[in-house]
Amino acid sequence: MADMRLIVAGAGGRMGRTLTRVISETPGAVLVGALEAPGSELLGKDAGVLAGLPANDVKLSADLWSMSAAADGILDFTVPAATIANVAIAAERGLVHVIGTTGLSQSDDAVIRSVTNRAIVVKSGNMSLGVNLLAALVKRVAQSLDESFDIEILEMHHKSKIDAPSGTALMLGEAAAAGRKIALEQHSARGRDGLTGARRAGDIGFASLRGGTAAGDHSVIFAGPSERITLSHHAEDRALFAQGALKAALWAHGKKPGMYSMTDVLGLND
Ligand SMILES: NC(=O)C1=CN([C@@H]2O[C@H](COP(=O)(O)OP(=O)(O)OC[C@H]3O[C@@H](n4cnc5c(N)ncnc54)[C@H](OP(=O)(O)O)[C@@H]3O)[C@@H](O)[C@H]2O)C=CC1
Ligand SMILES: O=C(O)C1=N[C@H](C(=O)O)C[C@H](O)C1
Protein backbone atom coordinates (compact mmCIF):
# COMPACT_ATOMS: atom_id res chain seq x y z
CA MET A 1 0.00 0.00 0.00
CA ALA A 2 1.25 3.51 -0.83
CA ASP A 3 2.41 5.76 2.02
CA MET A 4 -0.30 7.93 3.59
CA ARG A 5 0.33 11.51 2.39
CA LEU A 6 -0.01 13.91 5.31
CA ILE A 7 -0.27 17.64 5.85
CA VAL A 8 0.79 19.16 9.16
CA ALA A 9 -1.26 22.22 10.13
CA GLY A 10 0.53 24.66 12.41
CA ALA A 11 3.82 23.30 11.08
CA GLY A 12 5.82 26.06 12.77
CA GLY A 13 4.36 25.39 16.22
CA ARG A 14 5.54 23.12 19.05
CA MET A 15 3.33 20.21 18.02
CA GLY A 16 3.74 20.95 14.29
CA ARG A 17 7.52 20.61 14.43
CA THR A 18 7.22 17.47 16.55
CA LEU A 19 4.74 15.96 14.07
CA THR A 20 7.13 16.63 11.16
CA ARG A 21 9.84 14.77 13.07
CA VAL A 22 7.60 11.84 14.02
CA ILE A 23 6.26 11.50 10.43
CA SER A 24 9.87 11.18 9.21
CA GLU A 25 10.31 8.25 11.65
CA THR A 26 7.01 6.51 10.86
CA PRO A 27 6.86 3.79 8.19
CA GLY A 28 3.79 4.21 5.95
CA ALA A 29 3.54 7.99 6.34
CA VAL A 30 5.03 10.84 4.33
CA LEU A 31 4.82 14.62 4.76
CA VAL A 32 3.45 16.36 1.66
CA GLY A 33 2.28 19.71 3.03
CA ALA A 34 2.99 22.15 5.85
CA LEU A 35 0.29 24.69 6.67
CA GLU A 36 0.90 27.91 8.59
CA ALA A 37 -1.14 31.02 9.34
CA PRO A 38 -1.54 33.61 6.60
CA GLY A 39 1.04 36.35 7.23
CA SER A 40 3.33 34.12 9.30
CA GLU A 41 7.00 34.96 8.96
CA LEU A 42 7.65 31.20 8.58
CA LEU A 43 5.84 30.94 5.20
CA GLY A 44 8.29 29.64 2.57
CA LYS A 45 10.61 28.04 5.15
CA ASP A 46 11.47 24.33 4.91
CA ALA A 47 9.41 22.14 7.29
CA GLY A 48 12.27 19.66 7.78
CA VAL A 49 14.76 22.36 8.76
CA LEU A 50 12.23 23.90 11.19
CA ALA A 51 11.87 20.48 12.83
CA GLY A 52 15.65 20.10 13.22
CA LEU A 53 15.94 17.62 10.32
CA PRO A 54 17.64 17.81 6.92
CA ALA A 55 15.66 19.87 4.39
CA ASN A 56 12.69 17.87 3.02
CA ASP A 57 11.59 20.39 0.40
CA VAL A 58 8.13 20.84 1.94
CA LYS A 59 7.76 24.60 2.25
CA LEU A 60 5.35 26.21 4.72
CA SER A 61 2.31 27.66 2.94
CA ALA A 62 -1.04 29.14 3.96
CA ASP A 63 -2.89 27.57 1.00
CA LEU A 64 -4.56 24.39 2.26
CA TRP A 65 -6.75 23.99 -0.85
CA SER A 66 -3.74 23.70 -3.18
CA MET A 67 -1.58 21.49 -0.96
CA SER A 68 -4.48 19.13 -0.18
CA ALA A 69 -5.03 18.18 -3.85
CA ALA A 70 -2.48 15.39 -3.41
CA ALA A 71 -2.93 14.46 0.27
CA ASP A 72 -4.75 11.79 2.29
CA GLY A 73 -4.82 13.38 5.73
CA ILE A 74 -4.21 16.47 7.84
CA LEU A 75 -2.86 16.53 11.40
CA ASP A 76 -4.26 19.66 12.98
CA PHE A 77 -2.81 21.01 16.22
CA THR A 78 -3.41 24.73 15.83
CA VAL A 79 -5.98 27.16 17.26
CA PRO A 80 -9.79 26.84 17.13
CA ALA A 81 -10.32 29.41 14.34
CA ALA A 82 -7.76 27.65 12.12
CA THR A 83 -9.17 24.18 12.80
CA ILE A 84 -12.69 25.35 11.95
CA ALA A 85 -11.41 26.93 8.72
CA ASN A 86 -9.68 23.62 7.84
CA VAL A 87 -12.74 21.44 8.50
CA ALA A 88 -14.62 22.36 5.30
CA ILE A 89 -11.60 21.88 3.02
CA ALA A 90 -10.66 18.57 4.66
CA ALA A 91 -14.24 17.34 4.15
CA GLU A 92 -14.39 18.57 0.55
CA ARG A 93 -11.12 16.80 -0.26
CA GLY A 94 -12.09 13.61 1.64
CA LEU A 95 -9.06 13.85 3.95
CA VAL A 96 -8.68 12.12 7.28
CA HIS A 97 -8.75 15.08 9.70
CA VAL A 98 -6.97 14.37 12.99
CA ILE A 99 -7.92 17.19 15.36
CA GLY A 100 -5.80 17.73 18.46
CA THR A 101 -6.58 21.43 18.88
CA THR A 102 -8.08 22.25 22.28
CA GLY A 103 -10.11 25.23 23.50
CA LEU A 104 -12.86 24.51 20.93
CA SER A 105 -16.28 25.93 21.87
CA GLN A 106 -19.59 24.06 21.73
CA SER A 107 -20.40 25.83 18.46
CA ASP A 108 -16.98 24.82 17.04
CA ASP A 109 -17.79 21.22 17.96
CA ALA A 110 -21.15 21.56 16.21
CA VAL A 111 -19.40 22.72 13.02
CA ILE A 112 -17.05 19.71 13.18
CA ARG A 113 -19.97 17.32 13.75
CA SER A 114 -21.85 18.86 10.82
CA VAL A 115 -19.29 17.55 8.30
CA THR A 116 -18.88 14.05 9.67
CA ASN A 117 -21.43 12.60 7.25
CA ARG A 118 -18.75 13.11 4.58
CA ALA A 119 -15.52 13.63 6.54
CA ILE A 120 -13.36 11.21 8.51
CA VAL A 121 -12.53 13.02 11.75
CA VAL A 122 -10.53 11.69 14.68
CA LYS A 123 -10.68 14.18 17.56
CA SER A 124 -9.28 13.96 21.05
CA GLY A 125 -8.06 16.38 23.69
CA ASN A 126 -5.16 13.99 24.25
CA MET A 127 -3.70 11.49 21.79
CA SER A 128 -1.56 9.52 24.26
CA LEU A 129 -2.28 5.91 25.21
CA GLY A 130 -1.68 6.70 28.90
CA VAL A 131 -4.26 9.47 29.16
CA ASN A 132 -6.89 7.47 27.31
CA LEU A 133 -6.32 4.57 29.70
CA LEU A 134 -6.49 7.02 32.60
CA ALA A 135 -9.88 8.26 31.34
CA ALA A 136 -11.19 4.68 31.34
CA LEU A 137 -9.94 4.22 34.92
CA VAL A 138 -11.47 7.51 36.04
CA LYS A 139 -14.86 6.48 34.66
CA ARG A 140 -14.57 3.13 36.44
CA VAL A 141 -13.65 4.67 39.81
CA ALA A 142 -16.36 7.35 39.51
CA GLN A 143 -18.91 4.57 38.95
CA SER A 144 -17.91 2.93 42.23
CA LEU A 145 -17.91 5.99 44.50
CA ASP A 146 -20.88 8.06 45.58
CA GLU A 147 -21.11 11.83 46.13
CA SER A 148 -19.33 11.56 49.48
CA PHE A 149 -16.19 11.54 47.30
CA ASP A 150 -15.51 14.97 45.77
CA ILE A 151 -13.86 14.87 42.34
CA GLU A 152 -11.18 17.50 41.60
CA ILE A 153 -9.06 17.66 38.44
CA LEU A 154 -5.65 19.35 38.53
CA GLU A 155 -3.54 20.06 35.46
CA MET A 156 -0.17 21.72 34.85
CA HIS A 157 1.24 22.86 31.50
CA HIS A 158 4.06 24.97 30.06
CA LYS A 159 3.82 28.73 30.31
CA SER A 160 2.84 29.25 26.63
CA LYS A 161 -0.43 27.31 26.76
CA ILE A 162 -3.33 29.62 25.87
CA ASP A 163 -6.44 27.66 26.98
CA ALA A 164 -7.68 26.42 30.36
CA PRO A 165 -8.76 24.00 31.60
CA SER A 166 -6.75 21.79 29.24
CA GLY A 167 -8.59 19.63 26.72
CA THR A 168 -7.37 16.61 28.66
CA ALA A 169 -8.77 17.91 31.95
CA LEU A 170 -12.15 18.38 30.28
CA MET A 171 -11.92 14.89 28.79
CA LEU A 172 -11.19 13.44 32.24
CA GLY A 173 -14.10 15.50 33.63
CA GLU A 174 -16.38 13.97 30.98
CA ALA A 175 -15.13 10.49 31.96
CA ALA A 176 -15.86 11.15 35.64
CA ALA A 177 -19.30 12.58 34.79
CA ALA A 178 -20.09 9.55 32.61
CA GLY A 179 -19.11 7.24 35.49
CA ARG A 180 -21.46 9.16 37.79
CA LYS A 181 -24.16 9.38 35.13
CA ILE A 182 -24.37 13.18 35.34
CA ALA A 183 -23.93 15.97 32.78
CA LEU A 184 -20.58 17.73 33.23
CA GLU A 185 -21.87 21.16 32.17
CA GLN A 186 -24.36 21.15 35.07
CA HIS A 187 -21.81 19.90 37.64
CA SER A 188 -18.63 21.77 36.80
CA ALA A 189 -16.75 24.11 39.19
CA ARG A 190 -14.20 26.21 37.31
CA GLY A 191 -12.09 29.19 38.29
CA ARG A 192 -12.71 29.45 42.06
CA ASP A 193 -11.55 32.79 43.44
CA GLY A 194 -12.54 34.91 46.44
CA LEU A 195 -15.38 34.16 48.82
CA THR A 196 -16.69 31.17 46.90
CA GLY A 197 -18.84 29.51 49.54
CA ALA A 198 -18.51 25.84 50.35
CA ARG A 199 -18.07 23.26 47.65
CA ARG A 200 -21.34 22.12 46.04
CA ALA A 201 -21.90 18.38 46.51
CA GLY A 202 -21.55 16.45 43.27
CA ASP A 203 -19.51 19.09 41.43
CA ILE A 204 -16.40 18.19 39.46
CA GLY A 205 -13.76 20.85 40.13
CA PHE A 206 -10.98 22.04 37.82
CA ALA A 207 -7.71 23.82 38.63
CA SER A 208 -5.03 24.89 36.14
CA LEU A 209 -1.34 25.65 36.77
CA ARG A 210 0.97 27.19 34.14
CA GLY A 211 4.76 27.43 34.18
CA GLY A 212 8.07 26.32 32.71
CA THR A 213 8.15 23.63 30.06
CA ALA A 214 5.76 21.02 31.51
CA ALA A 215 4.48 18.90 28.59
CA GLY A 216 1.26 18.05 30.48
CA ASP A 217 0.50 16.71 33.97
CA HIS A 218 -3.01 15.63 34.99
CA SER A 219 -4.38 14.30 38.27
CA VAL A 220 -7.91 13.28 39.16
CA ILE A 221 -8.45 13.35 42.91
CA PHE A 222 -11.33 11.52 44.57
CA ALA A 223 -11.46 13.16 48.02
CA GLY A 224 -13.62 11.28 50.48
CA PRO A 225 -14.21 11.14 54.21
CA SER A 226 -10.74 10.38 55.70
CA GLU A 227 -9.16 9.13 52.46
CA ARG A 228 -8.15 10.32 48.97
CA ILE A 229 -7.53 8.40 45.75
CA THR A 230 -5.39 10.15 43.12
CA LEU A 231 -5.01 8.92 39.54
CA SER A 232 -2.28 10.74 37.58
CA HIS A 233 -0.55 10.93 34.22
CA HIS A 234 2.66 12.82 33.45
CA ALA A 235 3.70 13.45 29.84
CA GLU A 236 7.48 13.71 29.57
CA ASP A 237 7.73 14.56 25.86
CA ARG A 238 5.16 15.90 23.37
CA ALA A 239 6.37 13.27 20.84
CA LEU A 240 3.92 11.06 22.75
CA PHE A 241 0.99 13.08 21.39
CA ALA A 242 2.46 13.19 17.88
CA GLN A 243 2.91 9.40 17.84
CA GLY A 244 -0.73 9.03 18.91
CA ALA A 245 -1.83 11.39 16.12
CA LEU A 246 0.11 9.33 13.54
CA LYS A 247 -1.45 6.15 14.85
CA ALA A 248 -4.90 7.78 14.54
CA ALA A 249 -4.28 8.94 10.95
CA LEU A 250 -3.05 5.52 9.78
CA TRP A 251 -5.95 3.79 11.57
CA ALA A 252 -8.55 6.13 10.01
CA HIS A 253 -7.21 5.90 6.46
CA GLY A 254 -9.95 4.15 4.44
CA LYS A 255 -12.53 4.20 7.26
CA LYS A 256 -16.13 5.32 6.63
CA PRO A 257 -16.92 9.04 7.21
CA GLY A 258 -17.73 9.73 10.85
CA MET A 259 -16.47 11.13 14.12
CA TYR A 260 -13.94 8.89 15.85
CA SER A 261 -11.94 9.25 19.07
CA MET A 262 -8.71 7.82 20.42
CA THR A 263 -10.85 5.31 22.31
CA ASP A 264 -11.81 3.88 18.89
CA VAL A 265 -8.23 4.03 17.60
CA LEU A 266 -6.82 2.29 20.67
CA GLY A 267 -9.67 -0.22 20.98
CA LEU A 268 -10.58 0.94 24.49
CA ASN A 269 -14.38 1.02 24.08
CA ASP A 270 -16.31 -0.76 26.85
N1 LIG B 1 -4.72 16.51 21.61
C2 LIG B 1 -3.44 16.40 22.01
O3 LIG B 1 -2.93 15.28 22.25
C4 LIG B 1 -2.62 17.64 22.10
C5 LIG B 1 -3.19 18.85 21.81
N6 LIG B 1 -2.45 19.97 21.82
C7 LIG B 1 -3.11 21.19 21.38
O8 LIG B 1 -2.62 21.55 20.11
C9 LIG B 1 -2.71 22.95 19.94
C10 LIG B 1 -1.35 23.51 19.50
O11 LIG B 1 -0.42 23.39 20.55
P12 LIG B 1 1.09 23.90 20.38
O13 LIG B 1 1.72 23.25 19.20
O14 LIG B 1 1.71 23.76 21.71
O15 LIG B 1 0.83 25.46 20.06
P16 LIG B 1 1.70 26.45 19.17
O17 LIG B 1 1.20 27.83 19.46
O18 LIG B 1 3.16 26.15 19.36
O19 LIG B 1 1.32 26.04 17.67
C20 LIG B 1 0.14 26.41 17.01
C21 LIG B 1 0.54 26.73 15.58
O22 LIG B 1 -0.63 26.95 14.79
C23 LIG B 1 -0.35 28.06 13.96
N24 LIG B 1 -1.54 28.67 13.41
C25 LIG B 1 -2.31 29.69 13.90
N26 LIG B 1 -3.28 30.01 13.01
C27 LIG B 1 -3.13 29.17 11.96
C28 LIG B 1 -3.82 29.03 10.70
N29 LIG B 1 -4.86 29.81 10.38
N30 LIG B 1 -3.39 28.07 9.85
C31 LIG B 1 -2.34 27.30 10.14
N32 LIG B 1 -1.62 27.41 11.29
C33 LIG B 1 -2.03 28.33 12.19
C34 LIG B 1 0.42 29.00 14.87
O35 LIG B 1 1.06 30.01 14.11
P36 LIG B 1 1.35 31.46 14.80
O37 LIG B 1 2.27 31.17 15.94
O38 LIG B 1 1.97 32.22 13.68
O39 LIG B 1 0.01 31.98 15.23
C40 LIG B 1 1.39 28.02 15.50
O41 LIG B 1 2.51 27.79 14.68
C42 LIG B 1 -3.23 23.50 21.26
O43 LIG B 1 -4.63 23.66 21.17
C44 LIG B 1 -2.89 22.40 22.25
O45 LIG B 1 -3.69 22.40 23.38
C46 LIG B 1 -1.13 19.97 22.14
C47 LIG B 1 -0.52 18.80 22.46
C48 LIG B 1 -1.20 17.53 22.47
O1 LIG C 1 -1.12 22.59 25.00
C2 LIG C 1 -0.50 21.54 25.30
O3 LIG C 1 0.73 21.51 25.40
C4 LIG C 1 -1.28 20.31 25.51
N5 LIG C 1 -2.55 20.36 25.25
C6 LIG C 1 -3.48 19.30 25.35
C7 LIG C 1 -4.54 19.66 26.38
O8 LIG C 1 -5.04 20.80 26.36
O9 LIG C 1 -4.91 18.81 27.17
C10 LIG C 1 -2.84 17.96 25.55
C11 LIG C 1 -1.58 17.96 26.36
O12 LIG C 1 -1.89 18.01 27.71
C13 LIG C 1 -0.62 19.07 25.94
pLDDT digits (tens, 9 = 90+) for 118-128: 999 999 999 99
pLDDT band, residue 35 (cuts 50/70/90): very high
Q: What is the mean pLDDT of residues 43-71?
A: 98
Distance 166 CA to ligand 2 centre (A): 6
Among 18, 156, 241, name the best residue to mutate to test ligand 2's pocket (greatest count of ligand atoms within 8 A of Cβ).
Answer: 241
- The yes-or-no verdict on residue 80 having pLDDT over 80 is yes
Question: pLDDT by residue (tens digit) across 156-173?
Answer: 999 999 999 999 999 999
74 phi, psi to nearest 5 deg: -135, 130
Is the complex ipTM higher than 0.95? yes
- How far is Cα 20 from Cα 176, in angstroms, rounded to an integer? 34
Amino acid identity for residue 47 in this structure: A
Percent with pLDDT over 90 in the chain: 99
- 68 Cβ closer than 6 Å to some ligand 2 atom: no
| Catalytic sites, residue numbers | 157, 161
Which of 14, 79, 102 best tests ligand 2's pocket when mutated (most atoms within 8 Å of CB)? 102
Q: What does the alpha-carbon distance between residue 68 and residue 128 come to, in Å, rounded to a whole number?
A: 26
